[in-house]
Structure 1
């Protein structure tokens, strides 16, 4: 086979050890293979860097195994051309599974140009990605704590949620604070806590707060309430940091906000997951496949079998499905007009994935051409 890289290395990365195999030479007759193992401590990673430089290695390949590749990538980034490979696509021949043979196999595949490079965004995008994913986690915890409080309130027959649409809104929070402090809420306290628009429901709100809440239930609510306040502070700090990182991507953020259904948080998630340099993906179809919103391709003996979507990036997929659901509720929108016929034929879940696929390809075109969204005419 044709040799594309004369000086390359394959790394088999584990939590405690790294097996590195260097292959040099252009022809099989002058081929040189050197293999060595290194611990994963930071000083040993720099020793690995020096060892690779001594052999004048130019290209490196390694599997994207868990999170173990990240410290290795951080140390070697900037010194070599690093290819991060999907472990499923570079499996060794069955029956020859050792760390040394795996490292040599990765080096051989890289040498002949047989490894497809995985998308690794630049440092700024990786930092933004960490923040947006952490924000999503904290919001999930925040929702769990709110549901936990609601469960305790229902257990004590406090029916506030049947009267107020948002128990954790401005008025609802004031009433809950009084309830946690005193164990009950006076009619006068209700009047001072609720918004003017709720004054007509004052008596109904007062009656809904009369329950069988005891000291144990007050303690449970207070614990969740303190946790909610802490989570809201953490989320606020994260959002400030996200806003600071988004200052470098104002143009792309403005472009994404022109798409119906996309707000600032969704736009930040999209930038964090796919980046702003669309040249990383050869076509919009590649981006959609990487995100896991493309139909599967399974054909055998001329028969097309399952078209189930392949596994992709779950974070961008969930964001795009949320955006697709939001745009489906928009009136007089082209994307919404595409959604409802699909939903009636194939079901809402499949329709959401289909609209996500279409929107992601639109985003690819917009970012690569630096153009805002233009609403197509409804036919």
Structure 2
């Protein structure tokens, strides 16, 4: 880097640098104008939905704005949460033949919504002792990190659907809730193995 900075600036170089700085300042001004407009529209039309979305761990201002701009705040257009995940492109593909399932990537969908949810998922799994972090650690052991985070993003989008559909604040239940669910699931499987149901 020192060698790259060691040189002589000719007059035309200074003009070029000044022009680049002017372009940068112009773009920053435009971004600031758009940020103000987006904030005003959000407060005027989506303030309640925005508040509910921000209650979800990992979803902050920008992510909430993208979710509202892409999916809207009316979840009645999506029959189920799975419908929303499929529309966004976070639902896994289905490649099954002769009873054998092949590894598939997620489907194509809304790239902006998908990116926002994956970003929010990364933020959520970094929160210490959160439910999302515990949920992430389990699939991470048996699959690639990228696939595990997409699974978290898909689950998070289902929470988004429920939050906006019922207009209720999300309650972070922490790692204890995840452990409790795993214990109950293990007990259920054990009961099924020891006392299998038979047809009458």
Under a length normalisation based on structure 2, what TM-score does the superposition of the two structures give?
A: 0.80
**Aligned residue number for residue 178 of structure 1:** none
Following TM superposition, by how much is the alpha carbon of 1:313 offset from its aligned partner in structure 2, in angstroms? Answer: 0.7
Q: 2:78 aligns with which of 281, 292, 315?
A: 281
Q: Is 1:228 matched up with 2:24? A: yes
Q: Is 1:268 matched up with 2:60? A: no
Write out per-residue CA displacement over residues 211-264 of structure 1, whole angstroms, 9 at most, x where no aligned residue.
Answer: 435135544433322111111100111111111211211100000111122111
Write out per-residue CA displacement over residues 263-299 of structure 1, whole angstroms, 9 at most, x where no aligned residue.
Answer: 1111100000101110101110110111111111122
Q: Is 1:259 matched up with 2:81? A: no
**Aligned residue number for residue 321 of structure 1:** 118
Q: C-alpha separation between the residues in 2 aligned to 1:305 and 1:347? A: 16
Write out per-residue CA displacement over residues 295-330 of structure 1, whole angstroms, 9 at most, x where no aligned residue.
Answer: 111222222223321111111001111111112221
The number of residue pairs the alignment matches comes to: 174
Contact 1:269–1:316 under 8 Å retained in 2 = yes
Larger proportion of strand: 1
Contact 1:270–1:319 under 8 Å retained in 2 = yes
Q: Is 1:339 matched up with 2:136? A: yes
Q: C-alpha separation between the residues in 1 aligned to 2:139 and 2:112? A: 24
Gaps spanning 5+ residues in structure 2: where?
180-200
Q: C-alpha separation between the residues in 1 aligned to 2:63 and 2:174? A: 25
Q: C-alpha separation between the residues in 2 aligned to 1:355 and 1:222? A: 45
Alignment partner of 2:162: what SS?
Answer: helix
Superposition RMSD in Å = 1.8
Higher relative contact order (CA 8 A, sep 6+): 2
Under a length normalisation based on structure 1, what TM-score does the superposition of the two structures give?
A: 0.43
Contact 1:270–1:316 under 8 Å retained in 2 = yes
Contact 1:299–1:305 under 8 Å retained in 2 = yes
Alignment partner of 2:142: what SS?
Answer: helix
